[in-house]
Amino acid sequence: MDHVKEVLGKPTSKTAAFFAHLAEFITKFSGTTLAFCVALGLVLLWALTGPIFHYSETWQLVINTSTTIITFLMVFLIQRAQNKDSLVLHLKLNELLAVTKGASNRLINAQDFSENEINLLHEYFCLLAEKAKKENDLGKTHTVEEAEENHQEKVEARHTRHQGTPHHS
């Protein structure tokens, strides 16, 4: 826990904090109606100036260059926002896993697993889903280990019942 406090308590440089706040502001603003209206207004203004500049190559180059630069920068802002949202979602899920009795702690930080590990876990949970289907009780939850134990008990119980009944020949 001291490590967490140490990381959370680390001061960031003023430059990094400034750019973080600027990126946050632009990300939030770019998703607003006002931002769309400003962009639309700029495109309309550009279109209206076409006759003034005789639809020259320079006139076309202005909009092409502007939109390319804005798009290029927005890709990084969108990725930054998605990374942050994803991390926050993982933290919330990790908190739920950590405090839920019976939940498997091996899934905490699953986002850091390799693709092979993720595929293995996917197969693991597919097995759990199959075992749950066999129990015909969709409301019951358990781990794969519990499902395997329950399944084995049922198989043994069926086997015992079948051994106790006379066979007709």
Query: φ, ψ for residue 74 (rounded to 5)?
Result: -65, -30
> Residue 5 has what pLDDT?
58
For residues 94 and 34, state if they share a domain.
yes
For residues 29 and 61, state if they share a domain.
yes
pLDDT along the chain (169 residues), means of 10: 60 87 94 97 97 96 97 96 93 88 81 91 86 70 66 77 63
In Å, the largest CA–CA distance within the chain is 101
For residues 69 and 145, state if they share a domain.
no
Domain limits at 15? 1-109
**Which of these three, 91, 109, 127, is where a domain ends?**
109
For residues 74 and 155, state if they share a domain.
no
For residues 101 and 117, state if they share a domain.
no
